[in-house]
Amino acid sequence: MNLNDVHTIYFIGVGGIGMSALARYFNGLGCTVHGYDKTETILTKKLAQEGIKIHYEDDLKYIPAKVDLVIFTPAVPETHGELSYFKKNDFPVKKRAEVLGMISRNRKTIGIAGTHGKTSTSSILTHVLRIGGIDCTAFLGGIAQNYQSNFVEGKSEWVVVEADEYDRSFLQLTPDYSVIISMDADHLDIYGTEDYMQEGFTQYAEKLKPGGKVFLRNGLELIRENKHTDSFGVEGGTYRSKNLRVENGYFVFDLESPIENIENIVFTLPGRHNVENATAAIAVAQQLGVTGEAIKKALASFKGIKRRFEFIHRDEKVVYIDDYAHHPTELNAAIDAARMLFPNRKITGVFQPHLYSRTRDFVDGFAAALDQLDEIVLMDIYPARELPMEGVTSDIIFEKMTNPQKTRATKANVMDKLKTLDFEILLTLGAGDIDTFVQPIKTLITNG
């Protein structure tokens, strides 16, 4: 299929963060874009304002007379009425990853892979490249605050994409440069074992275009050696950040690189993990000729990503941060960043586990991560695409926790629980619908 011949596109699951970026891309090309999603959100409302035709009922009456391409997300069940209709009637039906792969084959592509850190690294890299004079296009897995969008339209031949390991989607891509941030066990419902998941990352690293390069985080190893691999990291790697410190509320570090050393880089995102992500972005940017001066300017002006350690409220008495963390590694990173920034303050966390399978697979890791908080409110599991599993509830995490200041909550009573607490540093954590409580919690803090 030639995407140049596509004029009318139908998205099933258009409100997803990755799907909506694609919808914005085609809308920007002048295509007619229609879409279904289960619920109306702030994001779907914005898409509608941009001219995308969206509905919220699974009903064939919304399908236009002519559709050149149907794009769906794996999160949509096979029983979905509209999806079944398109498949039975031989419409061109493709997964989001397939279409992203088609776009990447026609552009110079940088693919950012990893079980954690994809969105942060992609957003940082996009900002660094654009400040550095490379007007790249970007498909992001979150809302980059500098651009107020998950899609950034550029006029150069370069495109930045997130290479998603879920459903082996990243094997659709053929990048010029690849970055692998992390390979922690996750999505075991898809891969079965950690070894199979790491084999998937190895296969992704082998998808390079001729002359390309893989940037692998220092300490990670692919199953098969790849001669086109370079390394990055904090205090280790070919591209190495060092002398990490906190000055005036910002993280500051120096960079050693085979291309150009840079000193006193001021970075707006807190945490060692974010410095690691920035180091990956710097490595790629230097390959493309971005100067140290432009890199410093970009990192100092980067405003972050919505729901990635996002400061919702900050005054002398209370700091409230919202974060997408939904894996033990991500929880550890968010809590560590808060400790580094606020070493002598009480940290309260509200965590909503995401998926029954992930809760079952990583229950020990979740309990250990949450035990690092001074007090924790643990909510019920957000199921997303999954049906309940016997014996798997938030209680299995709660029972393993040794934190004496722990309490359980539901969506119905979590606000009542929070009203009884005295906050110093508050974190809301999770990838489900915990974000619907952000504004009520902010109101509670500002009115309290």
Q: What does the block give as tokens for 330? A: 């991500």
Residue 172 in domain: yes
| Residues 91 and 117 grouped into a single domain | no
Distances (CA, A) of 258 to 25, 29, 71, 262: 36, 39, 42, 11
Residue carrying structure tokens 């960043």: 337
pLDDT at residue 227 tops 90: no
* Residue 398: predicted pLDDT: 98
Q: State percent of the chain over pLDDT 70.
A: 98
| Residues 67 and 157 grouped into a single domain | no
Q: Looking at 301, 336, 351, which one is the last position of a domain?
A: 301
Beta strands in 5-82 (DSSP E): 8-12, 32-36, 53-55, 69-72
Over residues 103-127, the mean pLDDT reads 93
Q: Which domain holds residue 209?
A: 107-301
Cβ(293)–Cβ(197) below 8 Å: no
Cβ(414)–Cβ(377) below 8 Å: yes
Over residues 105-119, the mean pLDDT reads 92
Give the mean pLDDT of the chain.
Answer: 93
CATH number of domain containing 41:
3.40.50.720
| Residues 401 and 378 grouped into a single domain | yes
* Residue 400, number of CB atoms within 10 A of its CB: 15
Residue 101 in domain: no
Task: Output helix, strand, coil percentages for the chain, rounded to the nearest 5.
Answer: 35, 25, 40
Residue 402 in domain: yes
| Residues 113 and 152 grouped into a single domain | yes
Residue carrying structure tokens 């992203």: 100
pLDDT at residue 448 tops 80: no
* Residue 270: predicted pLDDT: 87
* Residue 292: predicted pLDDT: 98
pLDDT at residue 161 tops 60: yes
| Residues 238 and 113 grouped into a single domain | yes
| Residues 56 and 175 grouped into a single domain | no
Least confident of 27-36, 228-237, 335-344: 335-344
| Residues 112 and 216 grouped into a single domain | yes
Over residues 348-352, the mean pLDDT reads 98
| Residues 241 and 360 grouped into a single domain | no
CATH number of domain containing 419:
3.90.190.20
The pTM score is 0.85
pLDDT tens-digit profile of 364-383? Answer: 999 999 999 999 999 999 99
pLDDT tens-digit profile of 183-196? Answer: 876 555 565 677 77
* Residue 166: predicted pLDDT: 74
Q: End-to-end CA distance of the chain, in Å?
A: 58
Residue 261 in domain: yes
CATH number of domain containing 171:
3.40.1190.10
User: 389: helix, coil or strand?
Assistant: coil
Over residues 282-290, the mean pLDDT reads 98
| Residues 296 and 317 grouped into a single domain | no
Residue 102 in domain: no
Q: Looking at 301, 318, 352, which one is the last position of a domain?
A: 301
- pLDDT top residue among 430 and 226: 430
| Residues 353 and 423 grouped into a single domain | yes
Q: Identify the helix (H) or strand (E) that includes residue 2.
A: none
pLDDT tens-digit profile of 290-327? Answer: 999 999 999 999 999 998 899 999 998 999 999 999 99
Q: Looking at 66, 95, 124, which one is the last position of a domain?
A: 95
pLDDT at residue 402 tops 90: yes
| Residues 295 and 324 grouped into a single domain | no
Residue 386 in domain: yes
- Give the Cα separation of 221 and 16 in Å (integer): 32
Q: Where are the alpha helices (DSSP H) in 106-175?
A: 118-131
Total domains present in the chain? 3
